[in-house]
Structure 1
């Protein structure tokens, strides 16, 4: 049972158990009594901590000589018991890796499954960048990419992009030399590879092996182009982790960029419920499983960490990290320069990942000068084949993403031939007169696929129904956006976030309409 009077004022770890004796939380403190007492005396805990306190049936503690020992012990206990109320650090995304198989003649390709036998490089944040790197490596070093080696060469060999080990025309050693060159690049050792190749080229030239020297020169040129495109070689002799975090809806989202000797080589994303002192607990758990770098770059410490640091020495955390690394670790809070740019990049990636849909909705609100963010958007499109099988689609986006359960499709009943204006009038009237009859909630914004004519038709039907819903249209050719009562298009360029969001919604409505049109035509053909 809980007896706070026996808890010492020493540093150490505390263990909370529930009524079934299960370990539900492990923590550490500079002053065990003060820290444990705060759980029961403080009134304004977050929801998760309140639930934790309600579940505590018994408390154990282990006194240590100092805070460093407490940190080390805490990390061991959390790893061993995986308590319910400690944050669960499971990487939330499976990004693709460049993969080199473990075979006599290895192949190169893309994989998300690290259980395969072979070597993995990445993960790559950008699919475009990953594919570019893979393509350069395959062409430059003529590595096979086929899953099964056939008995005769494929097209890649005929266009001189593969040495075709399937034919037996290349020795294993020579092929593996090419694999090693690719691995040099994937590990970020571009400069040393270029230097090595230049030495080889000089030797080949001196030995009058000019054809081979030319091939090496072409390899060097391709590698230098890759280096320029990626800009991955920041001349640094130390490693860095860049950590950015966002709190949203009671959850913490953290992104970690791993930089090895100037090369960004990995990205991890974590999500867990907000708990007090989450940042410190995250650092301890994460670096219990991963070797700390020499520098940890952050935008700043959360306020609860700063408050906690008044009673808990933050230098102890650095000592813990330094012991794990076996050399000095430091925190950096950059204000400008290259490190700040890396931090901004990490935050930008995190915002896109966590707040991407919110940012799109907010951009649309600002550009259309709406009073409130358009959380529910409905978009209409008309599709027909030379005036036959005329149908309409209505797609709904909710909180920035498609809400497919609320999609609707319509056969146009009152229009014959090609008349998009009347078709829009019919479908808009049918949709919103039905919502009125059902006393259902109206959307925050309506988008019409078309120009000023289609917009006027929709606006007229809304006026007839006495509905004051903001409505705009988007014309395909220049992606111009129109609003009722304006002669010219709104000053929104087609590459702006708001316009791109409208285009995304319009394209989905277009896809849905065409799918229905094709379905009707197919049914008619079968009939």
Structure 2
């Protein structure tokens, strides 16, 4: 039903839509192709997943740079769209932050949302287990308190040497704040600077022969070094951004807008339209006519200064336009480009991959595939499906009743329908395909090739055998093995399976008509007998 072969083997989020265009499920994946394919390959889904799969009418994906970004994007999309089949965790409004309060003796803890100046926040974190472990380690390294109120006597944590006990004056406020500042540096991801500072401090203690303090700092250095290797924190940014990229193919513009809010990717919008001069500026004017522009637009090239002024007027304050060449913003543009290729050009990509895999001189834009279906030699029928530019062209599907073959003879049946199809196209002076696919092996391929030679046609023709998915080409003794994970073989399988489905549907229709006809004849005979 869905062509998952063209999905990227990259991290990201996928969205399932129903027939009405409503998002019914949002998921994340380390490998989008593998994860999305699993929905349609597995047969043992639970009832809810079966219901989900049955409701899917369209699939959309967003590629991310990392799996962590996929987690964050998934959370934002679920909160925004509240899909029917996602779990509704009403108490989990956002991924949690690590909080350092601004008290005389700050404490460290976990916050569900950020406040306005009362504390310093780090995150959000996509893994609760990782977040909790980080809090535990930071407390242990820097001996920061976690209690909501300072007790009047030292608690068990002080006796376990995991808190410096400011509650009983075991540490001065100045020294305690120094430890808090170091914890903040680590949570900001500045472990290199922190390690340099700690090493200098340890050297100073050693020079003054304060070995106990030197040992304590050395332990901190070891802990920070280990922690820096596993720390994954994303710091929120204040600026909202739209990242806009486009590509042009066959005189059509394919354009995508990524919306980034406070450093988090919130979603994408896709557009396609005819290419013409100044299309980009025209798009920007229309796009922001009914929505407030963000604080920053990240674009692939400069635009007219007057347009920047128009956008600033719409927003009520300056809109900055950035054309990055390097850095994080350039990576965002590259990510849009990657998503453009998968969203709009996947059919072109799989067609080119098929051309390369088969060694064809021309791109197979129009492909026709033949299949034979019968039930123990009865209701022998043939089908032909046509794919154009990577997608089914159902108005050009054809069905054949076998007329010249008696009994079960797939070879002769293939020869008949191939000859009938292209004899008619020649007589009517209609377009011929770029590639012909036969569902079968060497025998079916040979029969089709003979019919084409009788018509003096040199259309490339191949056969795809079901069991081993071997591809047979004329003149090659051994079958050609295509990459089982590649676009080319998946495209061939998609076409072959569609031809098989179409043939079986026609076969069942004929058998049903035959059964109804037989039932009607028997009824007539019984009626005459009763009447006599």
Alpha-carbon separation, structure 2, partners of 1:381 and 1:124: 29
User: Contact conserved, 1:197 with 1:220, CA < 8 A, in 2?
Assistant: no
Q: CA offset at residue 358 of structure 1?
A: 3.0
User: Contact conserved, 1:383 with 1:517, CA < 8 A, in 2?
Assistant: yes
Q: Which residue of 2 is the match for residue 152 of structure 1?
A: none
Alpha-carbon separation, structure 2, partners of 1:516 and 1:233: 56
For residues 293-341 of structure 1, the C-alpha deviation after alignment (integer angstroms, 9 at most, x for no partner) is 233222224xxx5xxx5xxxx2x54444445445554333344554344
Instruction: Sort the Cα spacing of 1:485 and 1:190 in 2 relative to 1 into closer, same or farther, 3 A.
Output: farther
Q: Which residue of 2 is the match for residue 374 of structure 1?
A: 364
Counterpart secondary structure, 1:289: coil
User: Contact conserved, 1:95 with 1:124, CA < 8 A, in 2?
Assistant: no
Alpha-carbon separation, structure 1, partners of 2:264 and 2:388: 39
Alpha-carbon separation, structure 1, partners of 2:279 and 2:483: 42
Is 2:477 aligned against 1:477?
no
2:61 to 114, 119, 126: 126
Q: CA offset at residue 428 of structure 1?
A: 1.5
User: Contact conserved, 1:377 with 1:397, CA < 8 A, in 2?
Assistant: yes
Alpha-carbon separation, structure 1, partners of 2:59 and 2:491: 25
For residues 76-119 of structure 1, the C-alpha deviation after alignment (integer angstroms, 9 at most, x for no partner) is xxxxxxxxxxxxxxxxx9853469xxxxxxxxxxxxxxxxxxxx
For residues 359-398 of structure 1, the C-alpha deviation after alignment (integer angstroms, 9 at most, x for no partner) is 3333323332222222221100111123322211011122
Q: Which residue of 1 is the match for residue 22 of structure 2?
A: 96
Instruction: Sort the Cα spacing of 1:443 and 1:240 in 2 relative to 1 into closer, same or farther, 3 A.
Output: same
Written as runs of structure 1 = structure 2, the 5 A alignment for 1:496-507 is 496-507=486-497
Instruction: Sort the Cα spacing of 1:397 and 1:236 in 2 relative to 1 into closer, same or farther, 3 A.
Output: same
Is 2:321 aligned against 1:406?
no
Alpha-carbon separation, structure 1, partners of 2:409 and 2:463: 17
Alpha-carbon separation, structure 2, partners of 1:261 and 1:276: 34
Written as runs of structure 1 = structure 2, the 5 A alignment for 1:356-375 is 356-375=346-365
How much is the aligned-residue C-alpha RMSD, in angstroms? 4.2
Q: Which residue of 2 is the match for residue 465 of structure 1?
A: 455
User: Contact conserved, 2:400 with 2:417, CA < 8 A, in 1?
Assistant: yes
Q: Which residue of 2 is the match for residue 524 of structure 1?
A: 514
Written as runs of structure 1 = structure 2, the 5 A alignment for 1:13-162 is 96-97=22-23, 125-126=60-61
Alpha-carbon separation, structure 1, partners of 2:432 and 2:233: 50
Q: Which residue of 1 is the match for residue 199 of structure 2?
A: none
Q: Which residue of 1 is the match for residue 136 of structure 2?
A: none
User: Contact conserved, 1:376 with 1:443, CA < 8 A, in 2?
Assistant: yes
User: Contact conserved, 2:419 with 2:452, CA < 8 A, in 1?
Assistant: yes
Highest Rg: 1 or 2? Answer: 2
Q: Which residue of 2 is the match for residue 241 of structure 1?
A: 242
Counterpart secondary structure, 1:179: coil
**Runs (5+) with no aligned partner, structure 1:** 1-92, 100-122, 147-155, 163-177, 199-218, 225-230
Written as runs of structure 1 = structure 2, the 5 A alignment for 1:243-392 is 243-248=244-249, 250-301=251-302, 309=304, 314=305, 316-325=306-315, 328-392=318-382
For residues 246-296 of structure 1, the C-alpha deviation after alignment (integer angstroms, 9 at most, x for no partner) is 335555332111011232212222344445333223323333432322332
Counterpart secondary structure, 2:384: strand
Number of residue pairs the alignment of both structures matches: 337
Q: Which residue of 2 is the match for residue 441 of structure 1?
A: 431
Alpha-carbon separation, structure 1, partners of 2:390 and 2:342: 12
Q: Which residue of 2 is the match for residue 512 of structure 1?
A: 502
Q: CA offset at residue 457 of structure 1?
A: 1.8
TM-score (norm 2): 0.54
Counterpart secondary structure, 2:255: strand
Q: CA offset at residue 133 of structure 1?
A: 6.0
User: Contact conserved, 2:24 with 2:84, CA < 8 A, in 1?
Assistant: no
Instruction: Sort the Cα spacing of 1:477 and 1:237 in 2 relative to 1 into closer, same or farther, 3 A.
Output: farther
Q: CA offset at residue 445 of structure 1?
A: 0.9
Q: Which residue of 1 is the match for residue 483 of structure 2?
A: 493
1:179 to 83, 90, 95: 90
For residues 195-232 of structure 1, the C-alpha deviation after alignment (integer angstroms, 9 at most, x for no partner) is 3479xxxxxxxxxxxxxxxxxxxx956999xxxxxx99
Is 2:421 aligned against 1:431?
yes
Q: CA offset at residue 481 of structure 1?
A: 1.9
TM-score (norm 1): 0.54
Instruction: Sort the Cα spacing of 1:341 and 1:406 in 2 relative to 1 into closer, same or farther, 3 A.
Output: same
Q: Which residue of 2 is the match for residue 195 of structure 1?
A: 110
User: Contact conserved, 1:96 with 1:124, CA < 8 A, in 2?
Assistant: no
Counterpart secondary structure, 2:110: helix
